[in-house]
Amino acid sequence: MSDHYSEDDLQKEITELETKSATAARLFDIRRIIGGLFVVYGVIVMIAGFTASDADIDKAEGVNINLWTGLGMLILGLLFLLWLWLRPTPPPPAAPDEDASTS
Amino acid sequence: MHTPTYLASGLRLPTNWLDYTILGIYFLVVLGIGFAARRSVKTSLDFFLSGRSLPAWVTGLAFIAANLGATEILGMAANSAQYGVYTTHWYWIGAIPAMVFLGLVMMPFYYGSKVRSVPEFLLMRFDKAAHLLSSILFAAAAILIAGVNLYALAIVVEALLGWPQWVAIVVAGFFVLAYITLGGLSSAIYNEVLQFFVILAALIPITVLGLRSVGGWDGLTDKLTASHGDNFVTAWGGTGIGSDNPLGANWLTIVLGLGFVLSFGYWTTNFAEVQRALSAKNLSAAQRTPLIAAFPKIFIVFLVMIPGLVAAVLVPKIGTSGSDLQYNDAIPYLMQQLLPNGVLGIAVTGLLAAFMAGMAANVSSFNTVFTADIWAKYVVKGREDSYYVRFGRLITAVGVLASIGTAFLASSFSNIMAYLQTLFSFFNVPMFVVFIIGMFWKRASMKSGFWGLVAGTTAAMVNYFWIYKQGIIDIPSDQGANFVSAIAGFVAGAVVMVAVSLFTAPKPQAELQGLVYGTRSPGMAEPPAEGDDAWYRKPALLGWGAVVLAAACYIPFSF
């Protein structure tokens, strides 16, 4: 407990870890997952809407809620995929490759 | 004696294969995110803080989703069924100002000083005593809150789906354990972003159909005014000092207790929230994290309050001995009454996802504090980085097991939200007072941090267990008592800090750079990233915009 841990030590430690960090380079883009899942959910729920029974519609206050919710989810999913297509994942910042430099 | 939180057995949902397919797909995706995020974990910074490299919209949505756990959703609907439109206070005054303050004022110090956690900031600003105490308090609180989520999940799943409680606990615990040990904070955050959208897809249909079933907003307010009185559908009606209202609070305790102390304590020093901002890729993104979260927060209140109000109309005796239904049943009841298979599956998935996200936010912040602040600084020091990644994975498993143990403590509270706010008033409020004084008053001495924490925590607990529970002063409700505990903890912490500072040595000026308002640290001078100077990315505009919007939202509910 006697050793003093100062702000400089912390800055140095974090800066060093940041250069070795792999998240920016290797982590996938979440937009793909959100888009994919919502397209799948949208289609499933819309199919439930197209095949809705009268009992289903009566239960939901006369609204074909599956159809509308499914449509909303499908559109959200497509918007995420569109966003990904228009603005693809930016390449990771060009950090010095420490594997190459240390070997 | 408190009524237990058990949901009425008549709430079993008519789920079928379609709903279970939707739920099954979600669990697969959750695990998939964990496995896919695994390859990005190379250093402890990746595991605990996503390498400080995520974009602002991801951290912003994770920031709001970490708060939008199922306890929040069911609890705020319960609040609305019990107290009416007063619930808006938890959002517009009890969240937005604090979130904006975090983004505009505090984040440069948090992010710029490169600390990995909230307790680590206290280590830099004060001393090891304050650091160790706050780390232990936070770790304990995180496990308690994770336990609340798990317990509430088990109760809800048992009532809605008929699974035995231990099955729900084991399944949810396993998935949370799996995806956090695999992908660390990145997979926790990614799952939170996903959960945010799924829970919206669940709440919007419930709100729309609920409103329709009571004749729209006008029908809702007319019926509530007739049954509960005028004040039930206003935000400030009946909150004059000394006047009687169901919340048991007046405008002063609402503004000071909830709006200032409790909410600033929760939003600005609760590491489960702040951690999301610290994982952002640069200072601008970190500042925008709580500001981006503030906009959905302003409107989410309608998605939890309206179902609660609708339930109060449809089941006039809800929460009393005249009905099987508890306040916490408001949303499950509407799901059962209104949603056909399909959307019902989405709603069940959203609720389970929200429980898991609420638990995961606490587990992922617990493992960071336990590893980086307690283990690496006081127990096993100076090992190689990969050791701490392995230890972080191990302690995640320990944390999940421990939260199963704490789950049952939650059972003695009738309103889950009130229980959580009691915990916050014990743990977050003292942290907040130490922070705010340490950040704005250079003279606050090294020793004052520790004693401020001790005094604040003690005062909040004394107020709750002795003054409120023993009836020394009559406070009508748990929530009202929480507001008072928060104010008591804040004042006691502040007084003790000032007193201790006057008699002990201040920290040398040179060691305060970048930690106290008015100073700068070398790390804060980074140039803005390309594109961050666009007008819609200016933190000041986003922040003040959110405050103005929240204030404007009060207008229709104030007259």
Q: In chain B, what are the domains?
A: 9-517+535-557 (1.20.1730.10)
pLDDT at B455: 93
From CA B354, how far away is CA B382, in angstroms rounded? 37
Identity of the residue in B37, B212, B511 whose CB atom sits nearest the CB atom of A7 = B511
What contacts B24, CB < 8 A, 6 or more positions away? Answer: none
Q: Does A45 contact B44 at a Cβ distance shorter than 8 Å? A: no
B124-133, B323-332, B527-536: which is most confident? B124-133
pLDDT at B484: 80
Query: Going along B88-159, which residue ranges are E strands?
Result: none
Q: Does B194 contact A5 at a Cβ distance shorter than 8 Å? A: no
B interface mutation test: which of A4, A16, A23, A99 has the most B CBs within 10 A? A23
> How close is the nearest chain A Cα to the Cα of B474, in Å?
45
> How close is the nearest chain A Cα to the Cα of B488, in Å?
33
The answer to whether A99 faces chain B, any CB pair under 8 Å, is no
Identity of the residue in A17, A41, A52 whose CB atom sits nearest the CB atom of B43 = A17
The pLDDT tens digits for B377-410 are 899 888 888 999 999 999 999 999 888 888 766 6
Return the closest-CA partner of residue A41 out of B28, B536, B361, B230.
B28
From CA B10, how far away is CA B270, in angstroms rounded? 37
Is A11 part of a structural domain of the chain?
no
Q: Does B209 contact A38 at a Cβ distance shorter than 8 Å? A: no
The 10 Å Cβ neighbour count of residue B474 is 8
Which of helix, strand or coil describes residue B162? coil
Nearest residue of A to residue B189, measured between CA atoms: A30
Q: Does B46 contact A22 at a Cβ distance shorter than 8 Å? A: yes
Is A103 part of a structural domain of the chain?
no
> How close is the nearest chain B Cα to the Cα of A72, in Å?
8
pLDDT at A98: 45
Nearest residue of A to residue B385, measured between CA atoms: A17
Q: What's the pLDDT band for B102 if we cut at 50, 70, 90?
A: very high
The answer to whether A72 faces chain B, any CB pair under 8 Å, is yes
pLDDT of residue B511 exceeding 90? no
| Range with lowest mean pLDDT among B16-25, B332-341, B450-459, B512-521 | B512-521
DSSP structure string for A40-86? HHHHHHHHHHHT--HHHHHHTTT--HHHHHHHHHHHHHHHHHHHHHH
Please, are residues B516 and B438 in contact by the beta-carbon 8 Å criterion?
Answer: yes
Q: A7-14: long-range contacts at Cβ-Cβ below 8 A with a sequence spacing of 24 or more? A: A7/B113, A7/B124, A7/B511, A7/B513, A7/B514, A7/B515, A7/B521, A10/B113, A10/B114, A10/B115, A10/B120, A10/B124, A11/B114, A11/B521, A11/B522, A11/B523, A14/B45, A14/B52, A14/B114, A14/B116
The average confidence (pLDDT) of chain B is: 85
Tell me the chain B residues in contact with residue A33 when contact means C-beta distances shorter than 8 Å: 29, 32-33, 190, 194
pLDDT of residue A94 exceeding 60? no
pLDDT of residue A103 exceeding 60? no
Q: Does A30 contact B204 at a Cβ distance shorter than 8 Å? A: no
Is A33 part of a structural domain of the chain?
yes
Q: Average pLDDT, stretch A87-100?
A: 60
Tell me the chain B residues in contact with residue A1 when contact means C-beta distances shorter than 8 Å: 128, 378
> How close is the nearest chain A Cα to the Cα of B16, in Å?
12
The 10 Å Cβ neighbour count of residue B480 is 21
DSSP structure string for B5-60? -PPPGGG-----HHHHHHHHHHHHHHHHHHHHHHTT--SHHHHHHGGG-B-HHHHH
Please, are residues A7 and B113 in contact by the beta-carbon 8 Å criterion?
Answer: yes
From CA A7, how far away is CA B113, in angstroms rounded? 8
Q: Which helix (H) or strand (E) holds A102?
A: helix A98-102
The answer to whether A91 faces chain B, any CB pair under 8 Å, is no
The answer to whether A14 faces chain B, any CB pair under 8 Å, is yes
The pLDDT tens digits for B170-182 are 888 889 999 999 9
Q: Does A14 contact B114 at a Cβ distance shorter than 8 Å? A: yes
Say what angle helices B165-213 and B216-228 make with each other, to 10 degrees. Answer: 100
Tell me the chain B residues in contact with residue A68 when contact means C-beta distances shorter than 8 Å: 205
Q: Does B54 contact A22 at a Cβ distance shorter than 8 Å? A: no
Q: Does B343 contact A65 at a Cβ distance shorter than 8 Å? A: yes
Number of domains making up chain A = 1
Q: What's the pLDDT band for B450 if we cut at 50, 70, 90?
A: very high
Q: Average pLDDT, stretch B68-76?
A: 85
Q: Which helix (H) or strand (E) holds B543?
A: helix B539-554
Tell me the chain A residues in contact with residue B51 when contact means C-beta distances shorter than 8 Å: 18, 21-24
pLDDT of residue B28 exceeding 80? yes
CA–CA distances in Å: residue B474 to residues B247, B458, B471, B477, B480: 13, 20, 6, 9, 10
Q: Does B40 contact A65 at a Cβ distance shorter than 8 Å? A: no
Tell me the chain A residues in contact with residue B208 when contact means C-beta distances shorter than 8 Å: 63, 65
Q: Average pLDDT, stretch A29-40?
A: 94
The pLDDT tens digits for A19-34 are 888 777 788 889 999 9
Please, are residues B158 and B368 in contact by the beta-carbon 8 Å criterion?
Answer: no
Side chain identity at B489, as an amino acid letter? Answer: G
The answer to whether A38 faces chain B, any CB pair under 8 Å, is yes
The answer to whether A74 faces chain B, any CB pair under 8 Å, is no
| Range with lowest mean pLDDT among A32-41, A53-62, B25-34, B271-280 | A53-62
From CA B506, how far away is CA B524, in angstroms rounded? 24
pLDDT at B258: 75
Which of helix, strand or coil describes residue B506? strand
Is A7 part of a structural domain of the chain?
no
The 10 Å Cβ neighbour count of residue B346 is 26
Q: Average pLDDT, stretch B92-113?
A: 90
Q: What's the pLDDT band for B10 if we cut at 50, 70, 90?
A: confident
B interface mutation test: which of A63, A65, A89 has the most B CBs within 10 A? A65
pLDDT at B528: 65
Residue A35, domain extent = 28-86
Is A63 part of a structural domain of the chain?
yes
pLDDT of residue A10 exceeding 90? no
Q: Does A21 contact B205 at a Cβ distance shorter than 8 Å? A: no
| Range with lowest mean pLDDT among A82-86, A94-98, B317-321, B486-490 | A94-98
Q: What is the largest CA-CA distance in chain A?
A: 75
Is A14 part of a structural domain of the chain?
no
pLDDT at B532: 76
Q: Average pLDDT, stretch B257-262?
A: 77
A47-61, A82-96, B55-69, B316-330: which is most confident? B55-69
Is B241 exposed, middle or buried, given 0-12, 13-18 or 19+ CB atoms closer than 10 A?
exposed
Q: What's the pLDDT band for B4 if we cut at 50, 70, 90?
A: very low
pLDDT at B246: 67
Is A79 part of a structural domain of the chain?
yes
Q: Average pLDDT, stretch B16-24?
A: 92
pLDDT of residue B7 exceeding 60? no
Tell me the chain B residues in contact with residue A5 when contact means C-beta distances shorter than 8 Å: 123, 377
